[in-house]
Amino acid sequence: MSKSTPILEVNDLSVAYGAKKAVEAVTFSIKRGEIFGLLGPNGAGKSSTLGAIEGLVRPDSGTSLIDGVDIWLHPSEVKSNIGVQLQATSFQYELTINQIIKLYAGLYNVKLSSSDIVQSLQAMGLDSEAGKPFKNLSGGQQQRLSLYIANIHHPLLLLLDEPTAGLDPQSRRQLWDTIERNRQDGGSILLTTHSMEEAQAVCDRVAIMDHGKIITVGTPKELIEKHKSDPEVRKAAHGKVTLEDVFIGLTGSEVRE
């Protein structure tokens, strides 16, 4: 595909569970080498949108194209170009880091020598943990390994669902650095997050979603400038308007379950 072709094109995507519409006519695109954040309160439709892009949830209408290829028409081709990191990892807890890396390299038909694995572990800061079972790793170490596995086959697009949830500030910053390195290596990233600090620090552009619909899209700076005079945003602000103020002003201050 041409370098001008978006790495991801979501067009008029809708997902329903019975009478409930979880995603309604959602449209957005992600450029090559872009980190794109999908923001929204609980129940906004983020997970259903990611599920449809991954090919796990069949949409009622609309399309998702990865590098110009429809996920539902050519699932095998598309899924080989996607890496996914979920909030909850599904690795067997008794396996060591070395075993997990070798297992997934084999599943993706990626050839890794012993020196390749050593270098990868060093880059993740996990070289001294190689023989440890996954269950004995800290939360930050588990997330770094999970992100590495999601990227082991060098996919065109990484889908990250709350990648830093529950991490301490040091682990969160380390993961941000890893995400940025992936982008510098030519990858594109779609991530969901509840952290406005994370969205503002990491994402080139963000989309704010609520009740299954995209409300607004732009760079964090553009969204602040665009909505800073909205009455509900001003009401949420304490001083200078932030991305979090915009988010609360557009989606409401009620706590979602």
Residue 212: predicted pLDDT:
95
Give the CA distances from residue 188 to residues 7, 10, 109, 148, 245, in Å, rounded to whole numbers and listed in that order. Answer: 7, 15, 22, 15, 27
75 & 195 share domain: yes
Residue ending a domain, choose from 131, 154, 177 = 154
Backbone angles phi, psi at 129, to 5 degrees: -110, 10
pLDDT at 2 over 60: no
* 23 and 75 belong to one structural domain: yes
pTM of the entire predicted model: 0.88
Bridge partners (DSSP) of residue 65 are 9, 70
Residue 123 lies in a domain: yes
pLDDT of residue 171: 77
The answer to whether residues 58 and 171 belong to one domain is yes
Residue 138 has pLDDT above 90, yes or no: no
Residue 3: predicted pLDDT? 64
Q: Is 256 inside any structural domain?
A: no
What is the model's pLDDT at position 165?
76
Residues 47 and 144 in one domain: no
Q: Are residues 168 and 74 in the same domain?
A: yes
Report, as an integer, the average pLDDT of 161-176.
Answer: 79
Residue 87 in this model has a pLDDT that exceeds 90: no
Question: What is the H or E stretch that residue 106 is in?
Answer: helix 97-107
Is pLDDT above 90 for 257?
no
Output the pLDDT for position 77: 87
Nearest Cα to Cα of residue 65 among 29, 103, 102, 23:
29
Say yes or no to pLDDT of 161 above 90.
no
**pLDDT beyond 80 at 86:** no
At residue 88, the pLDDT reads 61
Residue 182 pLDDT > 70, yes or no? yes
Q: Per the structure, how many domains does the chain have?
A: 2
CATH for 193: 3.40.50.300
